[in-house]
Chains A and B, each alone.
Chain A
Amino acid sequence: MKFGVVRFPGTCDDFDARDAALRVDGAEAVLLWHGDHDLQGVDAVIVPGGFSYGDYLRVGAIARFAPVMTEVMEFAREGGTVLGICNGFQILCEAGLLPGALLPNTGRRFIFRQVDLDVDRADTRFTSAVPAGQTSLSIPIKHTTGRYYAPEDQLDALEANGQVLLRYAPGQNPNGSLRDIAGVTNEAGNVFGLMPHPEHAVDPLTGSVDGLTLFTSMAQAVSRV
């Protein structure tokens, strides 16, 4: 199992995501340079958090045109497993790989907060390793632009298709996301984006451990194929 973590100018959580992925048994993880048209044969792609291109113009708007994104889009179209975290989620939305868009938090400010996420589905390639009976994950958020938005009919469709995997626990929605959505997949279920940072929840010493299950799930899904 080999994870690839994309690195844009302005990416900040690249090493964190790589090191989190490396905690999965038997996993390798490499960094993928934004300027290369090359995914180095990885089995899954992570588009990590940070401020690609300074978040200038509009979050994720510039990074989606980076050369490596051509390959990421191709990989996704062919059913490859792609995870977008925070800025990665924003980029995947801008790239059209995920539905909806991320808008400025209703509170306008950057917020760091440890939040509880309700697991809507634990039978997907991103959540299958969530232990049976565990319905909630403790994972931090840190962003200024994390309010998930899609038009009402699209939200209905997302829910009907089971594309919403994670929601902020009741009363904990930190950013005004519609229907408390914290993470959604594309229709095929192979691309997943979320605002919370699972890579910052992989070690009890530095936080919680609940984020690791996402990486483990991805590895299991890839090895099942």
Chain B
Amino acid sequence: MSDTQSVPGVEQAIALGLTRDEYALVIEKLDGREPNEVELAMFSLLWSEHCAYKHSKKLLRTLPTEGDAVFMGPGENAGAVRVGLDPDSDLICAFKVESHNHPSAVEPFQGAATGVGGILRDIFAIGARPVAILDALRFGEPTSERSRYLLDRAVAGIGHYGNSIGVPTIGGEVYFEAPYETNCLVNAMALGLANAGDMIRSAATGVGNPLILFGASTGRDGIGGASVLASAELGDADEDKRPTVQVGDPFEEKKLLECSLELLEKGLLVALQDLGAAGLTSSASEMASKGETGMDIDVAKVPLREPGMAPFEIMVSESQERMLCVCTPDRVEEVIAITDKWLVHGTVIGSVTDTRAMRIFDGDELVGEMPVEALVDDCPLYDLEPVKPSSPLYPAPVATLPGEVSLRDTLLALVGSPNIASRLPLFEQYDPVVQSRTVRRPNTCDAAVLQLPDGSGLGVSIDCNGRRVAADPYRGTIEAALECASNLACAGAKPLGTTNNLNFGNPEKPEIAWQLTEAVRGLGEACRALDAPIVGGNVSLYNQGTDGPIYPTPVVGMVGALPDASKAGVLGFAREGDLWGLAGWNALPSLEASELAKLRGEALPDGLPEFDVDHILATQDAIREAVRSGALSSAHDVAEGGFAVAIAECCLAGGIGAQFLGEPTGEETPREVLDAILFGERPGGFIVSGSEEALEALAERIPLDIFGEVGGDSLDVVVGDETFSVTLDELRTAHAALRPLFP
């Protein structure tokens, strides 16, 4: 080690996010030597929450990760499942969800755009062509100017990146809740397809093999990003974090993507890895760790966008649109030629060694040397100290619906409420059809569906109702997973695998630790029950601003298969004269933690009502089979807003009305009961339509009540002793409530 290197010391280490004990451990790992600038920068990033999963790794180990369809579980850049008709199929779907919450809170357009860029790189880093994007967004109420701004810019950023790179955005979700006001969530999920034989891992093997960096040049983007932007609570000092904003360049990434896939197709690579959080530091160390090798890197060889960058800056820069690969020495020329062809010029910046150490050079000078294992594996893991909160963590939502409102107006208010209103004004800013696989676009089916080359279909859904998770982290998370599976069932798809993004507050606080523990317990149980193992995911902690933690938001993304894409279900009523019914529920839904309760300003309950998971799985099986057989005209799962809102959604999507003939009791039914029937929420309910025979056949398997006929241009309701009617136009107007947010 050159002794010209300065030693920043423990206070600097703490400023970079390490604890005193962690710093002492670093010194131990360096055989008693204090880390110099390069080493401290690298340790502080790799030992950050974001890279080391210090507070979540132990929990994540409890998740189910194995199953028949699983091709690659967590650990690589993305997990993957086998898809296609043939169970031993060579066709693989890689998928993963990732968050870019804090960067998006600082600069929503670039934060969201680079979030999409990052997750796409994870997909093609394992050799899969990205074929779809989904987004999961959370903002404060749209009455807040800041929330509207964040929404507008984040949606624009996602569209900008996805549209420009030619990957369709086929689904997603957005919720507006006050606890996200100062800490929005921007999660992006991507799916890719590959042939098993063309896939690649990131393990750097073959001592003497060169390490090639290609793509964008390196600037001072996001320096300190992983530890500062991604792991610290946002406070008033946001201004100071500004210079670290990273700007996304989808054009560069498009070239990088095509180049990477061509390199793999030609069989030129030993290993491939994207550069994400913590830049070269994380990518190179992970590659060496997985390959059980070491690595020498010369920062002087890294093409720079800005002059005068210090070695540590080069090592931690988070400049976007860069990849790292390893090839054998005889392939270097070919590899560089292909990178040149795609204008993403590759440069040899180092080589694989047998030292088991990361050695960083600046020209001839050694400026850092650390054991790979210490960097990647030896960060201390912390036990959570969960304690169930004794008093409510979240204030009751602000009431927006006055007490005395008719059933009819309540329905219209719900249909126009921010969490239920049409998402079209968002989705129409995304290209859902590029690549020509999209069989079900947003707003046509509960899950998005892609067609695979063998004619089978791939369904995908992403979901999480954070308010319900806040009410009951365990059951709320099970509900999120069940909701994904219900969406897939409506498309005719059976779950194959799951990804998740655990968005939570500060895990060092006992109540947040409790939310996290309960949510992961629920997630594991649900995925086991659904036989949809977790193949990957992401954890985003410390999501809290000055006004408290976000709702716990374990976003669940699920991928499923259907044998015939042409039989994919639709959500909208489709045929005049069909009958429609409500399937699945074996108990009355509850208003607690429902959308209506929110509009009425009711506080969150302590716990959600129980439900029978096995019964819901049986219902999903029956719905899925009915959809696949082509017997049903439509299928839609009942979610936010309950039964009545679900029917309205079927009418809106199909552009056709319906009659709703609840049993007229003749006597006065208490309003609470009517509210619960019409607007209560509970997992496992479905609105189905079709011929009488089709519904009767389905009723043999699961609870199903037929309520009326499809047809006309209004929704005509008779329930208890009440009757009312809403025209399709009235529903449309109410449903378009988000339109003004995108002037």
Q: A residues bordering B, Cβ < 8 Å?
A: 9-13, 15-16, 19-20, 35, 50-51, 53-56, 109-113, 140, 142, 197, 199-200, 203, 205-207
Contact = CB atoms under 8 A, between A and B. Distances in A.
Given A51-B164, A54-B250, A110-B163, 20 more contacts: A9-B255, A10-B251, A12-B164, A12-B165, A12-B166, A13-B166, A35-B341, A51-B166, A51-B250, A54-B164, A55-B251, A109-B159, A109-B742, A142-B431, A200-B433, A200-B434, A203-B436, A206-B437, A206-B451, A207-B433
A80 B163 CA distance: 31
B436 A19 contact: yes
Nearest to A111: B428
Contacts of A200: 433-434, 436
Contacts of B166: 11-13, 50-51
Interface of B: 156, 159-160, 163-166, 249-252, 254-255, 341-343, 427-439, 451, 565-566, 742
B167 to A, nearest CB: 8
B232 to A, nearest CB: 33
Contact of A12 (B343, B434, B451, B566): B434
B162 to A, nearest CB: 10
Contacts of A16: 434-436
Contacts of B250: 51, 54
Contacts of B429: 109-112
B342 A15 contact: no
Contacts of A205: 439, 451, 565-566
Contacts of B565: 205
Given A9-B342, A51-B164, A110-B163, A206 B251 contact: no
Contacts of B255: 9-10
Nearest to B450: A206
Contacts, number: 85
A9 B428 contact: no
B251 A112 contact: no
Contact of B433 (A35, A51, A55, A206): A206
A55 B428 CA distance: 20
Given A109-B156, A205-B439, A13 B434 contact: yes
21 contacts: A9-B255, A10-B255, A12-B164, A13-B166, A13-B434, A19-B436, A50-B166, A51-B163, A51-B164, A54-B249, A54-B252, A55-B164, A111-B428, A111-B429, A112-B429, A197-B433, A199-B436, A205-B451, A205-B565, A206-B437, A206-B438
Nearest to B343: A9
B436 A112 contact: no
Contacts of B163: 51, 110, 142
B370 to A, nearest CB: 38
Contacts of A12: 164-166, 254, 434
A158 B434 CA distance: 31
Contacts of A111: 428-429
Contact of B435 (A15, A51, A142): A15
Nearest to A20: B436
**In terms of DSSP, what is the predominant structure of the interface of chain B?**
mixed
A206 B451 CA distance: 9
B428 A113 contact: yes
Contacts of B427: 112
B428 A15 contact: no
B593 to A, nearest CB: 34
A53 B566 CA distance: 36
Nearest to A201: B433
Contact of B439 (A11, A13, A199, A206): A206
A96 B435 CA distance: 29
A140 B433 contact: yes
A207 B163 CA distance: 18
Contacts of A199: 436
A206 to B, nearest CB: 6
Nearest to A204: B566
Given A112-B429, A205-B566, A10 B436 contact: no
B341 to A, nearest CB: 8
Most B Cβ at <10 Å: residue of A15, A19, A110, A199: A110
A50 B432 CA distance: 13
A33 B254 CA distance: 16
Contacts of B251: 9-10, 51, 53-56
B42 to A, nearest CB: 33
Nearest to A207: B433
A168 B430 CA distance: 21
Nearest to B255: A9
A205 B449 CA distance: 11
6 nearest CB pairs, A to B:
A12-B166, A54-B251, A51-B164, A16-B436, A142-B431, A200-B433
Given A15-B436, A19-B436, A206-B436, A10 B254 contact: yes
A162 to B, nearest CB: 31
A3 B207 CA distance: 48
Nearest to B743: A107
A36 to B, nearest CB: 11
A153 to B, nearest CB: 34
Contacts of B342: 9
A16 B249 CA distance: 23
A17 to B, nearest CB: 10
Contacts of B249: 54
A104 B439 CA distance: 29
A55 B251 CA distance: 9
B191 to A, nearest CB: 16
Most A Cβ at <10 Å: residue of B255, B343, B434: B434
Contacts of B341: 35
A110 B432 CA distance: 12
Contacts of A15: 435-436
Contacts of B430: 110, 112
A71 B710 CA distance: 57
Contacts of A140: 433
Nearest to A19: B436
A112 B426 CA distance: 10
Contacts of B438: 206
Nearest to B568: A205
Nearest to A55: B164
A35 B251 CA distance: 17
A9 B156 contact: no
B431 A112 contact: yes
Nearest to A109: B429
Contacts of B439: 205-206
Given A12-B434, A54-B249, A112 B428 contact: yes
A50 B162 CA distance: 11
Contacts of A10: 164, 251, 254-255
